Homo-oligomer: A and B are copies of this chain.
Amino acid sequence: MTHHMRDEITQTVKKIKSMEIRGAANIGRYAAAALKAYTINCDARSRDEFVRGLEEAGETLIDARPTAVSLPNAVKFVLRRVRDSDLSLEGLKELAVRSADAFIENSRQAVRTIGEIGAKRISDGDTIMTHCNSSVALSVIKTAFSQGKDIRVIASEARPRYQGRITVKQLAEAGVPVTLIVDSAVRSFMKDVDKVVVGADSIAANGAVINKIGTSQIALAAHEARVLFFVAAETYKFHPDTLVGELVEIEERDKKEVADPGEFSGVDIRNPAFDITPPEYVDLIITEKGVIPPQAAIMIIKEEFGWI
């Protein structure tokens, strides 16, 4: 990669790692945008050079965070089209740009569609719990609210990074009545909750949902209380490698996010950023293709990516 390109990709990687760019959908879109910017600025002089550079850029992006599959799926979306084409260099570059734009636009449209589908499952009078800060989960909630449904939201703070605080601010700005609680209070408030709506970083072939640490605990409490647990997830959140047995890697982030290790000598601090919700605690996955039970995740993966 040339200097300029390296900068573009490097900046995006850095922002993803520092969580300046956050949220699985967002990460996917920024990755696509980075490939677009890379392409535009690319001074490769041959098809091969361009493709190799783009592949390298893609790999660099994919390494930024291991858990959200939207990242490799966005990269593959662009790369597959470029690799499969026999266009000239210029044609390829246009295709790369168009593909990146298509991914971004598809992603935005998917968020809107899921918001509309999911809103049908939200009833007037519902109290909804959410966790962390998922744009697609909020799309469901806001769409229902904008339809005039009388709903309220309970959001857990999502230690250690407090993304729940972002969520309550966004909902309060939208006028949705919202309550902030600590993560430990989830089970205590579950008796007042009608439905849980969360997003996903990845969905495995067996319907397991990989999402922000704490999600599986909420799913368990919802299951115990027989509260419906909905996952809002675009189809590019489904993880093709899980079909061949791969496990989704759970990123473990800096201990400092939890507590200053300097103040806790002799104490180990652990900070896994995600957890795995087993399919038996998931009632529905809301995708832009329709609502499915978690056991049908394999259908989506097969249709989108094929068998082995």
Residues of A whose CB lies within 8 Å of any CB of B are 113, 116-121, 123, 156-160, 165, 168-169, 172-173, 177-189, 205-207, 212-214, 216-217, 220-221, 224-226, 242-247, 258-259, 264-272, 275, 279-280, 283-284, 286, 288-293, 295-296, 298-299, 302, 307-308
Contact = CB atoms under 8 A, between A and B. Distances in A.
Contact residues of A: prevailing secondary structure = mixed
Contacts of A181: 258, 269-271
Given A187-B217, A189-B270, A259-B180, A246 B298 contact: no
A143 B293 CA distance: 33
B214 A270 contact: no
Contact of A270 (B173, B180, B271, B280): B180
Nearest to A292: B298
Nearest to A303: B307
A121 B247 contact: yes
Contact of A217 (B184, B226, B289): B184
B264 A165 contact: yes
B258 A184 contact: no
29 contacts: A113-B308, A117-B245, A120-B245, A157-B258, A158-B184, A165-B259, A165-B264, A169-B264, A177-B268, A180-B258, A180-B264, A180-B267, A181-B270, A182-B214, A183-B184, A184-B213, A185-B213, A185-B270, A185-B272, A187-B216, A188-B213, A188-B275, A205-B290, A205-B292, A206-B293, A207-B293, A243-B291, A296-B298, A296-B299
